[in-house]
Amino acid sequence: MAIETFIPTVWSARLLQSLNKALVYAQPAVVNTDYEGEIREQGDTVKINSLGPVTVSPYTKNSNISAPETLNDADQILTIDQADYFNFQIDDVDRAQQKPKVMDRAMRNAALALADNTDQYLAGIMWASVPAASTQGAVGGGVAVGFGATDTNPYVALLNAAVDLDEHNVPREGRWAIVPPWFHAYLLMDSRFVATGAEAADGRAVNGMIGRAAGFDIYLSNNVPYAAGPVEYKILCGTNYATSYAEQINKVEAYRPELRFADAVKGLHLYGGKVVYPEALALIIADVGDAA
């Protein structure tokens, strides 16, 4: 590929498409991009406005109603405070000797690496924002999830999370839970788990969806946050309006390194997230229990 044929806008679009395919936590089913707007530089902010509740009072006929109340508003700031980049080169000799489209493959790998960072970032800000009252296993090393006599059944753990969301008036439509592989394996042992398979997930244009349980669309991810000693997995449950996310592939540039016979590409990914409705999230802090 001659460097003159490189078109930055085409490569930028292709990179974003690859990111969307690879994401779990940052896909539209899990977070919203309602306030994304136009992002140009790291440090840009998006202002999110919201209105307070409206008072409803009983009406008595032939009586004056109260004066109109002044609505309270509040705003939150979503800051684009994350920036990741890639910068790689392909030597002219290596490119000539390989039949596959080396640049295409390298760009896909760059997209996957950026997606992995983004997923971990969003998972981290979400679980850290869940109210303590909406967290199972916050004290004592987490809930032991399994099928032993002293374990919490995995389906029951999800039911408890669903009850918490119900009590916070969170709509049931579009609820999700993101689980690690071992939790999914336990769900497969429970007849109440409805596996959808990859075909159904592809039909809904979602990545990582593996089935439904307790009113949640279940997604599988290796980026579920955990801590060692004892191992505690932070299994998030919620809806996509809890967290707002914004991103921009800010720059993609091709160049010829001065001292090399090679084509090089560098790109900058700007992004940020904000949990705007923490009450729309629930958390299961889980240890691996007994599978028997």
What pLDDT shows up at residue 291?
77
Q: How far apart are the C-alpha atoms of 143 and 150, rounded to whole Å?
A: 10
pLDDT at 288 over 60: yes
What pLDDT shows up at residue 205?
47
Which of 2, 19, 8, 1 has its CA nearest to residue 254?
Answer: 8
pLDDT digits 0-9 by tens, 35-62 = 776 666 777 887 777 766 788 888 888 8
What pLDDT shows up at residue 71?
72
Other C-beta atoms within 10 Å of 76: how many?
A: 15
For the chain, give the mean pLDDT.
84
pLDDT digits 0-9 by tens, 214-226 = 999 999 999 999 8
Domains of the chain: 3-288 (3.90.1690)
Q: How far apart are the C-alpha atoms of 150 and 154, rounded to whole Å?
A: 12
What pLDDT shows up at residue 166?
96
Report CA torsion sign: 58, 59, 65, 68.
positive
What pLDDT shows up at residue 154?
93
Higher-pLDDT residue of 87 and 196 is 87
What pLDDT shows up at residue 203?
46
Length of the chain: 292
Higher-pLDDT residue of 15 and 81 is 81
Q: What percent of the chain is predicted at pLDDT more than 70?
A: 82
User: Confidence band (pLDDT; 50, 70, 90) for 199?
Assistant: very low
pLDDT at 83 over 60: yes
